[in-house]
Structure 1
Amino acid sequence: MSTTPKPDGLVRLEAEMARQFQDASRSFEANQANAQAAARHIQETKRLHLVGMGASHWLNRTVEPLYRTHGIDATAVLASELLRAPLPGPATELLVSQSGASGEIVRYLDRRESDTEAFGLTLNASSPLGQRTTSLIGEGGPEQAFAATRSLAITLALHAAILKHLGSDPADFLSVLTAPPETESKGVPEQLAAARILILSSRGHLQGVVETAGLTFMELARRPALAIEGGQLRHGPLEVLSTETAIVLARPAGADADTVATVAQIALKAGLTPIVIDCSGAPPIEGARTVALPRLRGLAAAAIVLATLQRIFIDTATLLVPDIGTPLRSTKVTDGE
């Protein structure tokens, strides 16, 4: 009995995902010296600009509040925005680009102010970013698949290395990389594939995670997705909820478990079945479709929620797109603006 071969784009995606946590763990260990140097400079300036584009920017949004817990005035900003409206220094800059050659990052390297110290986070040591800054380099080489997967786990690990030297305990994060918990998402891809629009929402640092995942969904499923913070979602955008909408909520541990549950209740009253990626440790929300995860916080929660959404969205896209992972209008590395 013959089987249809997997699309090349899907093969590349799954090859990256198969080693993403192993490479992330190796990246954490291999970059301690430069991570310590970056942390020392961040502690001196007390101001941090997290600069990136695409998925790198959304991951910067994920870690932004984690740096703030250490008393750092951290701001995630698009490189394209910074080119047009520079932030005043002095500050430490973390320039994040998996390829190290994004057009906006290269242009910014050419134009950046001299009163800021720049460190790079990249998977490509020979790239402009890797060559022109003190860089933390991800293990395993540049990513080959179109949509980011492995590079995201590695970037989280590089941030974890810096945060360790600012005082964070990386134990739970490293445990997730070593032994990721199993998840069950039966029926979720089919529910998402039946919807025309996807809304994603969370609170705190997991908002950056759903923003990252929303980009993955649009790249692979070729359907619109709006990732909007839970408070902002309640200031008008709830009006888009309909039977043609799917809503995915990432439910964090702590007080915000209840605020996410409130949004889920609103969705239920609108006739939807919200999909809840739940690492809160709280009882499931009645009526919602729950993907249960262990109770985790910080980067550990970010890593497993992101990996769970990646798998779900790839499975969804395979139901919708025959050539999943092969871009029609985009490129892996965007050159110029």
Structure 2
Amino acid sequence: MATETTSGKGLALLQAEMARQGADAIASLTGNEAMAAELAASIMRTGRLVLIGMGASHYANRMAETSWRRLGVDCRAETAGDVLLQDLPAQARTLVLVSQSGESGEILQLLDLLPPGADLFGMTLAPQSTLGLSLRCLVGVGGQEVAFAATRSLTITLALHAAVLAAAGGEIGSFAATLAASRQSALEEAVEALAQKNSVIIAGRGELRGLAEANGLMLMELARIPAFGFEFGQFRHGPLEALAPDLGVLLLRGPGALGAGTATLARAALGAGTVPVIFDCSGEAPIEGAVTVAFSSNEGLSAVAAMLPALQKLIIAVSSRKVAGVGEPVRSTKITGIDHEA
């Protein structure tokens, strides 16, 4: 069957986290109003925002980055590893350190290097962590995530970003309503189109770029195959040469500018002998020849909220066709420290 799964502990943990992520995210969105207002005031005062994280936290920051830029804020999403190796700009700016565990090695190093200040904040799911106790933090509801790959933590971190954006007057659309919806997507064709591939490219634009990157990471972690997340233009500039029948292509199509280029990339994939899968919330007609998973028309973070649960299920189903013990890492740990090797 297309959605065949294994029954190991890792899979059970993933499913348990996903079962409560929507409710926890809505509670996180509405339960951080005071701190969200404080952080929003700092951002609008400085006009410059640096979002700092690692792994899935970084990709959640990448999704929020586009929304902040639309609001006129000079926003940059940086990995903590990069920040450790370079000086931050001297101008006044608001810094937000994001770590679901509050114990990521690079984040802890930054806490030792950055002087406490009025414009230094955090986001975490663990209020008693080092990060949670060191900075004023928005705190996600439900405690720290325990499954290996980021599912619930990613959704909750997006909700925390949405809370701050809303406090700053940004447009988060139907984000909360979309999280609350329990719509089930038919994924069998999409699973069949990707499960036999040796590697996968996922691509999107705007907020959907970060979503592509986050799900590329998840697929690598769970299926143990090469998977890459690209912005649509970055996919065209060189990686098209990798297109082949054994390369899977997953395109995230939003409305208007968020979907521009989808048809071009889909035709290129079809011409190379691979059927692309398109997660589509554009409201436009499906692209002929592609496998389309359709959603209601949404944009920005609402588009992310619409697609994310179905993407998680798709990646877990694909991974379950490739490896035994999905969600049980063989080389990684949930909380990654810092490598001090010279």
| Band of TM-score, shorter chain | over 0.9
Among 225, 229, 232, the residue aligned to 1:230:
232
* SS of 1:187 mapped into structure 2: helix
For 2:318, give the aligned amino acid. Answer: T
Rounded to whole Å, the distance in 2 between the matches of 1:113 and 1:232 is 36
* SS of 2:249 mapped into structure 1: strand
What's the counterpart of residue 137 of structure 1?
Answer: 139
What's the counterpart of residue 296 of structure 2?
Answer: 294
Instruction: Structure 1: give runs of 5+ residues left out of the alignment.
Output: none
Instruction: Structure 2: give runs of 5+ residues left out of the alignment.
Output: none
* SS of 1:261 mapped into structure 2: helix
Among 111, 114, 117, the residue aligned to 1:112:
114
Rounded to whole Å, the distance in 1 between the matches of 2:335 and 2:240 is 34
What's the counterpart of residue 310 of structure 1?
Answer: 312
What's the counterpart of residue 67 of structure 2?
Answer: 66
Is 2:49 the counterpart of 1:48?
Answer: yes
For 2:62, give the aligned amino acid. Answer: R
Give CA deviations for 1:289-314 in whole Å, capped at 9, x if unaligned. 00111100111111122221111000
What's the counterpart of residue 275 of structure 1?
Answer: 277
Aligned-pair CA distance for 1:116? 6.9
For 1:320, give the aligned amino acid. Answer: K
What's the counterpart of residue 181 of structure 2?
Answer: 179
Aligned-pair CA distance for 1:115? 6.4
More moved, 297-306 vs 47-56: 297-306
What's the counterpart of residue 330 of structure 1?
Answer: 332
Give CA deviations for 1:150-206 in whole Å, capped at 9, x if unaligned. 011100110010000111244500101111433111122232120001011111110
TM-score, structure 1 as length reference: 0.96
Rounded to whole Å, the distance in 1 between the matches of 2:29 and 2:177 is 12
What's the counterpart of residue 161 of structure 1?
Answer: 163
More moved, 21-30 vs 81-90: 81-90
What's the counterpart of residue 252 of structure 1?
Answer: 254
* SS of 1:228 mapped into structure 2: strand
Q: 1:230 to 1:267 in 2, by over 3 A?
A: same
More moved, 34-43 vs 255-264: 255-264
Aligned-pair CA distance for 1:112? 1.5
Rounded to whole Å, the distance in 1 between the matches of 2:237 and 2:170 is 34
More moved, 259-268 vs 326-335: 259-268
Rounded to whole Å, the distance in 2 between the matches of 1:5 and 1:205 is 32
Q: 1:5 to 1:291 in 2, by over 3 A?
A: closer
For 2:73, give the aligned amino acid. Answer: I
Give CA deviations for 1:204-231 in whole Å, capped at 9, x if unaligned. 1101001001100000000000111111
Is 2:85 the counterpart of 1:84?
Answer: yes
Rounded to whole Å, the distance in 2 between the matches of 1:36 and 1:227 is 32
Aligned-pair CA distance for 1:76? 0.4
* SS of 1:277 mapped into structure 2: strand
Give CA deviations for 1:58-97 in whole Å, capped at 9, x if unaligned. 1111110100111100000010100010221321011110
Residues 66 and 207 in structure 2, CA contact (< 8 A), matched pair in contact too: yes
What's the counterpart of residue 23 of structure 2?
Answer: 22
TM-score, structure 2 as length reference: 0.95
Matches within 5 A, 1:177-216: 177-216=179-218
Runs of 4+ in 1 over 3 A off after TM superposition: 113-116
Residues 143 and 150 in structure 1, CA contact (< 8 A), matched pair in contact too: yes
Rounded to whole Å, the distance in 2 between the matches of 1:124 and 1:37 is 20
Q: 1:163 to 1:195 in 2, by over 3 A?
A: same
